[in-house]
Amino acid sequence: MEHMEWFLNSVCSRHMTLDDSLFSNITKINGGKVIFRDNSKGKIIGVDNIRGKLSPLIKKAFLVNSLKHNFLRISQLCNKGYKIIC
């Protein structure tokens, strides 16, 4: 899959991506659905931790079909001690 940027989000339920190549050992699940801003839905099809070459570990990210962007949930980052500066 081509490189996709990550967007910080305060509304999404978890970190999520459509790029299954980011996961090393994904657990396939039937985890329900997420609802997007336009009221369309995406299915949660997997969960795993992500470690990028230069980025820290992203824990329990969802693999969601129909996503157009990667999302990082701000509160999950803050709970791990990261500070978000705008």
Q: What is the pLDDT of residues 60-77, one digit of tens each?
A: 899 999 888 888 888 888
- Answer yes or no: is pLDDT of 15 > 70: yes
User: Going by DSSP bridges, is the β-strand pair 27-28/41-51 parallel, antiparallel, or unpaired?
Assistant: antiparallel
Q: Quick one: pLDDT band at residue 1, thresholds 50, 70, 90?
A: very low
Taking alpha carbons only, the member of 64, 69, 76 closest to residue 14 is 76
